Amino acid sequence: MTSVKLLGNSKANGQDFINEVATIGRIHHVNVVQLIGFSVKGSKRALIYEFMPNGSLEKYIFSRQGSVPLSNEKLYEISLGVARGIEYLHQGCDMQILHFDIKPHNILLDEKFIPKISDFGLAKLYPTNNNSVPLTAARGTIGYMAPELFYKNIGGVSYKADVYSYGMLLMEMVGRRKNLNALANHSSQIYFPSWVYDQVSEGKDIEVQEDATEHEKKTTTKMIIVALWCIQLKPVDRPSMHKVVEMLESDVESLRMPPKPFLTPHQKLHNNSNYRSRFSSADIGDFRSCW
């Protein structure tokens, strides 16, 4: 059984189609969707993928109609699978593959709920030794795009943009909600990463599932800490995906809380004195050496 993705008329002479075929054709990993074939007929283009019977992750974490809630443990397994898939894209191929559109909608689930990264229309390939990449325009989906795609003064664009997107995805998996929700019950909960940082810093449990075991609570806290590291404002302060996998597989007791993430460079500057009073450059440097 297969799945067909029909592509509409492209504004870039089919560049998105060429990107997807060229990129995914060289990838072979359990956590990346497999391209079986493609078809071109005139202006019509189609990609043929392996069939993913459980659809996208989006409907499970945002409780779309007809979806069955996933357990904390299953969400953790999915998060680890996605992290391994992105790590492979960054380090496991002969070229460095930057996805630029990691989000719940682009994570597909097979019959066993094994996650597969999909939609490589915005992907870019670069030599593995490239530490930064040239981009003429921001790429991705608002809410998951790394700040350096908009603010050039905080760091160059690199694989760390995917790390940021993964962190935002991980936050939504933990909260089972959009990170930015103007309809939240309390104003402090409108931006979930900021609220959840305060909760964990104060040693409070994040209740996302009734009757959660102690192990599940620790797993949730671990996912939050990893996500907070991934969404640090400056790319240099974020871990590599290899380090992310290590952190997810480790005990929560071995992880340290990062500085509180900021929405924009302006907000960071406004709160700079508080930031530096709580975390010295040496504190962050201890972690950077492992990134």
* Residues noted as catalytic: 101
Rg (CA), the chain: 19
CB 79 within 8 A of CB 223: yes
* Amino acid in position 51: F
Closest-CA residue to 115 (of 99, 131, 101, 104): 104
Q: Across the strands, what pairs with 6?
A: 46
Please state, in angstroms and as integers, the Cα–Cα distance from residue 73 to each residue in 113, 214, 226, following that order.
12, 12, 16
CB 109 within 8 A of CB 75: no
The span from the CA of 62 to the CA of 114, in Å, is 18
**How many other CB atoms are found less than 10 A from the CB of residue 13?**
8
